Amino acid sequence: MAEISSTLFKKIRRIQIQTTHLAEDILAGAYRSAFKGRGMEFEEVREYQAGDDPRTIDWNVTARMNRPYVKSFREEREMTVMLIVDLSASTRFGTKQALKRDIITEIAAVIAFSAIKNNDKVGLILFTDVVEKYFPPKKGTRHVLRVIRELLAFKPKDRKTNMGAALAFLGEVQKLSGICFLISDFICSDYSHEAALIANKHDLVSIAVVDPSEVHFPDMNITAFEDLETGEKKLIDTSSSEVKEYLHREISERLTAQKKLMNQLGADFLAIHSEIPYLPQLKKFFILRQRRFR
């Protein structure tokens, strides 16, 4: 790993300690139960025991040994987890505890540590309106720490969002089926075609990070605002009830549209509100998913 500043090292270390604890002590069980392996793998032939499924009897071995033997299988747990992370300029917005990008980074870190705890591979795609960086899936803590370093320190070249391009790239580089976490604020243009292709092959989970001021905009009277992605500037009367209603409706419709799309594709959608601790929200999602696919 290349030399890094002491400030960045401290951030990496803090996230490592915090998210490793969360993944190992709290989230790992829910993660493991919520995401199944790719299938069943032959393990051994053993003597038949009361309660064994007769369909698993190995008749060749049974005939040779003159007593019943069965084939034993175990779940093939190893999976590939891909993190597709939005670094567009709108994620650098935040009004309460943290920027949306900070929350996105920590969610990605928790998922990554949960994955390696279960011996899964972890890959990373960082995107704006282009794919900015790609890390092929690998195992191990060292690899995950490198992923977290990039999440913290990477400076994207572009500002806008093209989720379709990121998903199209994922389809090119990830041929084997896996679990794909798309983490963004979902301020983007239509990407339904690319999402459908990914959801048809992979287990797709979309996680939207929402700042509280996007839902309930604070009173600041007439204020100058700049669109972080386009640079467009506007004067907005934030004390206006019509303006507040419009902004609330816009975020509600955006999240509703994303959830509807994921439901249509058989994929999952979770909205994380940044003013609420994200861990209980993640854990609840994993538990509900486990029950749904049980």
- Is 62 part of a structural domain of the chain? yes
Pairwise pLDDT comparison (149 vs 1), residue with the higher score: 149
Match 């959830």 to its residue by tokens: 259
- Is 109 part of a structural domain of the chain? yes
- Is 1 part of a structural domain of the chain? no
Mark whether 282 and 170 lie in a shared domain.
yes
- What's the pLDDT score for residue 259? 95
C-alpha distance from residue 92 to each of 72, 105, 153, 288, 290 (Å): 51, 12, 13, 30, 33
Mark whether 159 and 210 lie in a shared domain.
yes
Mark whether 47 and 142 lie in a shared domain.
no
- Is 137 part of a structural domain of the chain? yes
pLDDT tens column, 100-144 = 998 999 899 889 888 888 788 999 999 999 999 999 999 998 999
Mark whether 102 and 23 lie in a shared domain.
yes
Mark whether 69 and 82 lie in a shared domain.
no
- What's the pLDDT score for residue 279? 84
- Is 224 part of a structural domain of the chain? yes
Question: Residue 15 belongs to what H/E stretch?
Answer: helix 6-21
Distance CA 209, CA 285 (A): 14
The structural domain count of the chain equals 2
CB 148 within 8 A of CB 16: yes
Q: What is the mean pLDDT of residues 76-98?
A: 84
- What's the pLDDT score for residue 49? 86
Mark whether 45 and 131 lie in a shared domain.
no
pLDDT tens column, 137-178 = 999 989 998 998 898 889 999 989 999 999 999 999 998 888
Mark whether 214 and 199 lie in a shared domain.
yes
Query: Is residue 1 very low, low, confident or very high in pLDDT (cuts 50, 70, 90)?
Result: very low
- What's the pLDDT score for residue 294? 60
Mark whether 56 and 174 lie in a shared domain.
no
Strand-strand pairing, 268-273 and 203-210: parallel
Q: What CATH number is associated with residue 93?
A: 3.40.50.410
Report which residue type is found at 191: Y
Nearest of 207, 216, 206, 205 to residue 251 by alpha carbon = 216
Mark whether 54 and 185 lie in a shared domain.
no
User: Across the chain, where does the E strand assignment appear?
Assistant: 39-47, 69-76, 80-86, 121-127, 131-138, 179-184, 203-210, 222-226, 233-237, 268-273
Last residue within a domain, chosen from 51, 74, 97: 74
Mark whether 61 and 133 lie in a shared domain.
no
Mark whether 66 and 138 lie in a shared domain.
no
- DSSP states of 125-178: EEESSSEEEEEEEE-SHHHHHHHHHHHHH---S--S--HHHHHHHHHHH--S--
- What's the pLDDT score for residue 242? 81
Domain assignment of residue 67, given as a range: 41-74
CB 253 within 8 A of CB 76: no
Query: Is residue 274 very low, low, confident or very high in pLDDT (cuts 50, 70, 90)?
Result: confident
CB 161 within 8 A of CB 187: yes
